Amino acid sequence: MVNEIFEYAPAPESRSIVKIEKEYGHYIAGKFVAPHSKKRFATINPATEEVLSKVAHGDATDIDKAVKAARSAFVKSWSKTKPKERAKYLFRIARILQERAREFAVLEALDNGKPIRETRDIDIPLAAAHFFYHAGWADKLEYAGLGQSPKPYGVVGQIIPWNFPLLMLSWKVAPALATGNTVVLKPAETTPLTALLFAQVCEQAGLPAGVVNIVTGDGKTGAALVNHPDIDKVAFTGSTEVGKLIAKSIAGRGIPATLELGGKGANIVFADAPIDEAVEGIINGIFFNQGHVCCAGSRLLLQESIADDFLGKLQDRMKKIRVGDPLDKNTDLGAINSGAQLAKIKELSQSGSSEGADIWSAPCELPKKGFWFPPTIFTGVTQAHRIAREEIFGPVLSVLTFRTPQEAMEKANNTPFGLSAGIWTEKGSKILWAAQQLKAGVIWANTFNKFDPASPFGGYKESGWGREGGRHGLAAYLKGSN
């Protein structure tokens, strides 16, 4: 990115706004407690590999304590709290998140590796909005079309991923609390810090002890939560692989689950698309959040008649993507969340090349420490390639072409996933026709990666069960509605 005429000065966001403790415990029954096993593990900044803090490892005993706390809170306080008071707790949480937004944005960028511009402008505001939106539902459930007086499940076990830590927390906790449930939340192994800071928000909002409990740990911790006999419902966002395991382990236990799993979204550009906007949309679709997005537009389905021109523009645009320090406000693409994820991305990219697709990466200087991958596209990809079928979860775009709209639909739907799709065309009737054909839970037309608490999100087929957001998302937490 050498430009002698106009070099942008670094614009670092200050870290001093957030105080990170040297170590954390679990947040159970309104207090931080030491882990039963006394074991803690490090959470690092993936951009520098610096250790940020040590968090507690949750075992079955910790999970049991948390579930008991959630049950007690449900029975003794939360189920007795009037809906309009529940609403006011959630409004408070939303407002405090807004007040402390910058603090959370910086912490999220440090722990996750994504750019500060994204945490500041997207993750944190959306998380606050999610609480604000669901606060308003708490005392209006009879208007949600889910029955005259829908009832909560009770104690909900929630497991969230590392790609949008605080946002995923809000997608889980806000509707659960609004509908009257209490929660045991297990944040992702590599990104626990904003969840732990969120415990402070619960304190500041005066939320009764035990309504929200946070147990940190790894996959085993999550399994312990899913398998606990006294939870009434499971909500999980993560890989399809683990989602299927969860489906197996709850089978026969009489408890439901919502699963928000993987995807291999097709971003479809027709010849009559608004080209410059489509280029931006494709770029955003795969490079936003380093491609660590379940609904990423990771397959570009490009109408063959405009392919060469379009790919040229795409590459020119990719050359302008700034990869680097997540805390620098100039940065577009941050670090890959972990060494493990980086290895996966590299392995799949390797397969792309070895299976015969053509690779091109934007030339950029990658920092020496930390986990990094340049924005990359593969052209000449077909549905038979692994990189067209498997979720890479990184900044890697697979480009396929199509001749006719029908062919585009066939290719787009030719996947066990069904989370998202994008449609780029100026023709309204074609948008609606394609939307009708596509087997995807979220369809973006002439835009991409747009989220709103009022808009239900979730996938078809192996992309999961159920929806989050909107009145449809409330159903997940109310008995008898699903």
Partner 1 sequence: MRLDVKKTYKLFIGGAFPRSESGRTYELKNKKGEFIANPALASRKDLRDAVVAAKSATTQWSSATAFNRGQILYRIAEMLESRSAQFIEEIVAQDGTSQSIARQEVAESIDLWVWYAGWCDKISTAAGGINPIAGPYYNFTIPEALGVVGVIAEEKPALLSLVRALAPVIASGNTAVVIASESRPLTSITLAEVLATSDLPAGVINILTGKKSELIPWLSSHMEVDGIDISGADPKTDAEIKISGSDNLKRIHRFDKEVSPNRILAFMEYKTVWHPIGI
Partner 2 sequence: MVDLTTLEGADTPGKIRSLAAKAVRPDPTDSTVPHVGAICVYNDMVKIARTHLDQIGGVDIPVAAVATAFPSGRASIAVKLRDTQDAIDAGASEIDMVIDRGAFLAGQLGEVFSEIKAIKEVCADKAHLKVILETGELATYDNVRKASYLAMLAGADFIKTSTGKISPAATPSVVLVMLEAVRDFHKLTGKQIGVKPAGGIRTTKDAIKQLVLVNETAGPEWLTPELFRIGASALLNDLLLQRMKLKSGHYSSTNYVTVD
Catalytic residues: 260, 294
Binding region for partner 1 (CB under 8 A) out of 47-55, 316-324, 374-382, 448-456: 448-456
Cβ 143 to partner 1, closest distance in Å?
A: 5
Token pair for residue 122?
Answer: 């997207």
CA distance 137 to 83: 9
> Whose Cβ is closer to partner 1: residue 140's or residue 346's?
140
Cβ 312 to partner 2, closest distance in Å?
A: 9
CA distance 52 to 33: 19
CB-CB neighbours of 480 under 10 Å: 9
Sign of CA dihedral 427, 432, 437, 440: positive
Which of partner 1, partner 2, none does residue 6 bind to, with CB < 5 to 8 Å depending on kind?
partner 2
Which of partner 2, partner 1, none does residue 59 bind to, with CB < 5 to 8 Å depending on kind?
none
Binding residue (CB under 8 A) for partner 1 from 73, 105, 110, 129: 129
Per-residue mark of binding to partner 1, 85-124 (x: CB under 8 A): --xx--x---x-----------------------------
Using rule CB under 8 A, residue 269 touches partner 1: no
CA distance 192 to 185: 11
Q: Are strands 420-424 and 212-214 parallel, antiparallel or unpaired?
A: unpaired
> Whose Cβ is closer to partner 1: residue 247's or residue 435's?
435
CA distance 156 to 479: 12
Using rule CB under 8 A, residue 274 touches partner 1: no
Per-residue mark of binding to partner 1, 389-418 (x: CB under 8 A): ----------------x-------------
CB-CB neighbours of 476 under 10 Å: 25
CA distance 202 to 192: 16
Cβ 136 to partner 1, closest distance in Å?
A: 2
Site size with partner 1, rule: CB under 8 A: 30
CA distance 213 to 183: 6
CA distance 223 to 218: 9
CA distance 363 to 299: 21
Task: Catalog residues that contact partner 1 under the rule CB under 8 A.
Answer: 84, 87-88, 91, 95, 129, 132-133, 135-140, 143-145, 405, 427-430, 432-433, 436, 452-454, 470-471
